[in-house]
Amino acid sequence: MRHSRDIDDLRADVAANCRALIALAEREGLHALVTETVRDGEYQKMLARKGYAAAGAVTPSFHADHAGLAFDICKNEKGHAYDDPAFFARMGELGKKVGFSWGGDWRSFPDRPHFQWDAGGAYTGAMVRARHYPPPMPRFKEEEMTQQEFNERMEAYLKALAQRDPADWSAEARAWAEAAGLIAGDETGNKQYRSFLTREQLAVLLHRYAKLTGQEKAE
């Protein structure tokens, strides 16, 4: 009985795009772990018996060790590997962006951890079992971002960051700083504790502290 989780056991073009998908996910804070790449017929039959594969799927196709066209993932978090629908939904979106077909879209037997290269659905399991394989998968390349797109994304990120609540460990220091008048917040009262500090803001903080301690006059 053989089953592997080694990405290198996939066909080279599929392996490259599998790694691209994992990298895309990491950038979004999604930690995916590849749990399966290729398997043999004996292992496939065991999965079917246990209900982890469709009842009639007793011969591997895209996962077959002679094909190397599919892989499965889970969330790399102990105790929560498969219980986060939002994680798998986003992974499905990213996988399709890379060029894979996602098992979560299947109506008869939804398989959210599963991704495969079937050339956009042009190749079936029966074709792959007959060793009629899809052509090489195009190497995924992210579209270059324009300066305007970068600025818009950064602005949205900074706005979201400013709305995040501060951590409990800073409560005492924050209370002191607010009481001393060092931290006043913006016009809405948002103190933006999780935002980045600019040099302009640093200068204001230092000036307030100098006034507080009687050291306002520069030498």
Ordered by start, the domain boundaries in the chain are: 7-129, 167-219
Q: How far is CA 217 from CA 10, 46, 165, 199, 210, in A?
A: 69, 79, 35, 20, 8
Q: What is the pLDDT of residue 212?
A: 87
The whole-number pLDDT of residue 18 equals 98
Write down the pLDDT at residue 24.
Answer: 93
Q: Would you place residue 49 in the very low, low, confident or very high pLDDT band (cuts 50, 70, 90)?
A: confident
| Domain covering 7-129, topology | Muramoyl-pentapeptide Carboxypeptidase; domain 2 (3.30.1380)
pLDDT at 37 exceeding the cut of 90:
yes
pLDDT over 90 percentage in the chain: 55
Between these two residues, 142 and 137, which has the higher pLDDT value? 137
Categorize the per-residue pLDDT at 113 as very low, low, confident or very high, splitting at 50, 70 and 90: very high
pLDDT of 218 strictly over 60: no
Q: Which helix (H) or strand (E) holds 46?
A: helix 41-50
What is the pLDDT, as a whole number, of residue 6?
97
The whole-chain average pLDDT of the chain stands at 90
pLDDT band for position 141 (50/70/90)?
confident
Neighbours of 210 (CB within 10 A): 13
